[in-house]
């Protein structure tokens, strides 16, 4: 992913609004690109900082960003797992249909 695209996705990332592929590319890029990581940190600090100031609840935001990244990584793994399960189910359905066709042919 290019920096330009990663930066465009930051807000949607913070809204938890990326699809699996985007999320994967985004995380990969941000974890390896210092510039975009900084952009993300700033966007996160601004967004969360304002929310916190409003309810007077200012924590260690950098730590929370790490937490957000961990959560995103976790949800990505979960989604990949779901995708894997989806392929298994499709595979089983195909095998099942093939099996039924074979039975019909040999009966
Ligand atoms: Zn970048």
As a whole number of angstroms, the distance between CA 107 and CA 88 comes to 28
Per-residue model confidence (pLDDT) at position 58:
61
CA of 6 to the centre of ligand 1 (A): 6
Q: Can you say how many angstroms the Cα of residue 65 is from the centroid of all Cα atoms in its chain?
A: 14
CA of 17 to the centre of ligand 1 (A): 19
The radius of gyration of the chain's CA atoms, rounded to the nearest angstrom, is: 21
User: Which of 69, 55, 64, 60 has its CA nearest to residue 18?
Assistant: 69
Question: What is the end-to-end Cα distance of the chain in Å, rounded?
Answer: 55
pTM for the full predicted model: 0.60
CA of 28 to the centre of ligand 1 (A): 10
As a whole number of angstroms, the distance between CA 57 and CA 42 comes to 18
Q: Model confidence over 43-93: pLDDT tens digits? A: 988 888 777 777 666 667 778 888 889 999 998 888 888 888 888 999 999
């Amino acid at each position: 992913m290019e920096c330009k695209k990663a930066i465009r996705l930051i807000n949607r990332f913070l809204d938890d609004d990326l699809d699996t592929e985007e999320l994967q590319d985004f995380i990969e890029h941000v974890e390896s690109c210092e510039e975009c990581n900084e952009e993300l940190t700033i966007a996160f600090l601004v967004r969360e900082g304002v929310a916190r100031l409003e309810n007077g609840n200012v924590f260690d935001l950098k730590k929370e960003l790490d937490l957000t990244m961990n959560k995103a990584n976790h949800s990505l793994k979960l989604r990949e797992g779901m995708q894997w399960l989806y392929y298994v189910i499709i595979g089983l359905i195909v095998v099942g249909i093939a099996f039924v066709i074979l039975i019909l042919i040999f009966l």
